[in-house]
Amino acid sequence: MGSAPPLPTLLVVPTGIGCAIGGHAGDALPAARLLAGASGCLITHPNVMNGAALYWSDPRIHYVEGSSLDRFAAGELLLRPVRRQRLGLLLDAGIESELRQRHLQVADGCRATLGLAIGPVVTTAVPLEVSLSLGASGVSWGQLGQPEALLQAGRQLKAAGATAIAVVTRFPDDPDSAGLAAYRQGSGVDALAGAEAVISHLLSRELGLPCAHAPALCPLPLDPELDPRAAGEELGHTFLPCVLVGLSRAPDLLPHPGSDQAAATAVASTLAIDAVGAVIAPAGALGGAAVLACAERGIPVIAVNNPCLLDVSAEALGLQVLTASSYAEAAGLVLALREGIAPEALRRPLLALR
C-alpha cells in the first residue's frame, strides 16, 4: 500500500433487507476487511461484523452500532478509539436457565481466552417480550414489549462502570417456519435482524454507550444443505462471541462539541464526520439516514451492486454516486480516493473538457 494517509470510510449494509452480501451471518466481513485495507480506516456496524461464533478484530475497523453510526454521519457524535471497553452484559429475564448459563460461559470464555474485560452482569426485572415482524416492503422489523425494563437494566450497568453493553434477549423460536428454512438455504431475509437493530438502537441512544445485541435461541436441528453464509450461526450455542469481541474495542461515543473551540481541542484525537472520505452502501438501499446524511455533506457515495429486497436507487433519490459492480471494485475506488486519483480517470470513455 502507498504512503497516502488513511481515508476514513463508512460501510453500511442495512440489516434485514436480504442483501446477497451481508444479509446472513456476518458475511460482509470479507468485504469489510478488504475495504479496511484499501481505506486504512473503516467505520461500520455490527450487522457487517457479527458472525455469531465467528468474528475478526482489526484495529483499522471501528465497530459502531447503527443508530450511533447515523448520528456520527449527521455530525452529532464523535468517535474516540480506545484500547478496550469494560463490557456490561445485559440478560433478558425471559432467557431460560440453561440458555442463560451458556451465555455466561461464552462471556467467561472470552475473559479467559481472549482477555476481554467483562462484567458486571445485570438481568432485566421482567422478560423483555421480543416479537418479530415484516414491514410493508418485506424487510424485517421487530418490537419490544418492555422497553423500559431494558433501559433500567442498561442504566444499572452504566452506573456500575460498564463502558459498553452487550445485550442478549430471548427471541421467539420458530424452527419450522418457511422464512427460517429459506434463510438457512441462503435466500430471504434475516427475520431476527430488524428487532435486534431496534433493541441496540434504543439502548445506545438512551445511554450514549456502544451497544450490540445477540439473540438467545434454542439450537436448530442439523441441516446438511445449510448455506455457508448462515453457517456462522450454527457453530455454537450462542451468537454472543462476535458481539463481545466487536464491542471490546468499539470507539467511545462523544457528543459533537459544535463550534466550541476549547471543547473541540479537548477531543482532538477523535474521529469526526468531516474526516470521512467515502460512504459505501448497496445500490438498492441508499435511503437510510447515514447515507443520506453523507450525501448532504458532499461525501462521495459508492453504490455497490449487492442485490436486496429494496430498489431505492441513486436515480430514484436523485443522488450523485460512484457505481461499483462489486466490493472489490468499491475497494479500488476507495484506494483511488485515498491516493487522490479522480475516479473518472479510471473509466472510459473519458470525455474531453469543453
Measure the CA–CA gap between 62 and 163, rounded to whole angstroms: 16
Going by the DSSP 8-state scheme, the letter that residue 270 receives in this structure is S
Measure the CA–CA gap between 103 and 264, rounded to whole angstroms: 40
Q: Which of residues 242-281 bind other proteins (CB under 8 A)?
A: none
Going by the DSSP 8-state scheme, the letter that residue 271 receives in this structure is B
Residue with Cβ nearer other proteins (162 or 197): 197
Measure the CA–CA gap between 313 and 330, rounded to whole angstroms: 17
Q: Read off φ and ψ for residue 218, nearest 5 degrees.
A: -75, 150
Residue with Cβ nearer other proteins (7 or 310): 310
Going by the DSSP 8-state scheme, the letter that residue 351 receives in this structure is P
Measure the CA–CA gap between 289 and 319, rounded to whole angstroms: 14
Smallest separation, CB 287 to other proteins (Å): 3
Amino acid, res. 22:
G
Q: Which of residues 296-315 bind other proteins (CB under 8 A)?
A: 296, 310-313
Smallest separation, CB 295 to other proteins (Å): 8
Q: With binding defined as CB under 8 A, does residue 293 bind other proteins? A: yes
- The radius of gyration computed from the CA coordinates of the chain, to the nearest angstrom, equals 20
Q: With binding defined as CB under 8 A, does residue 75 bind other proteins? A: no
Smallest separation, CB 124 to other proteins (Å): 14
Q: Which of residues 126-155 bind other proteins (CB under 8 A)?
A: 133, 135-137, 139, 141, 143-144, 147-148, 151
Residue with Cβ nearer other proteins (105 or 137): 137
Mapped onto helix, strand or coil, the DSSP state of residue 127 is: coil
According to DSSP, the residues that pair with 285 across neighbouring strands are 312
Pick from 290, 274, 206, 268: nearest CA to 11: 290
Pick from 171, 215, 174: nearest CA to 52: 215
Smallest separation, CB 353 to other proteins (Å): 30
Residue with Cβ nearer other proteins (101 or 137): 137
Binding mask 178-207 for other proteins (x = CB under 8 A): -------------------xx--xx--x--
Q: Which of residues 159-178 bind other proteins (CB under 8 A)?
A: none
Cα-Cα-Cα-Cα torsion 352, 329, 188, 198, nearest 10 degrees, comes to: -90
Report the first-to-last Cα separation within the chain, whole angstroms: 35
Smallest separation, CB 67 to other proteins (Å): 7
Q: Near other proteins by CB under 8 A, which window of 21-29, 51-59, 89-97, 290-298?
A: 290-298
Q: With binding defined as CB under 8 A, does residue 317 bind other proteins? A: yes
Point out which residues bind other proteins (CB under 8 A): 14, 66-67, 74, 133, 135-137, 139, 141, 143-144, 147-148, 151, 197-198, 201-202, 205, 285, 287-289, 292-293, 296, 310-313, 316-317
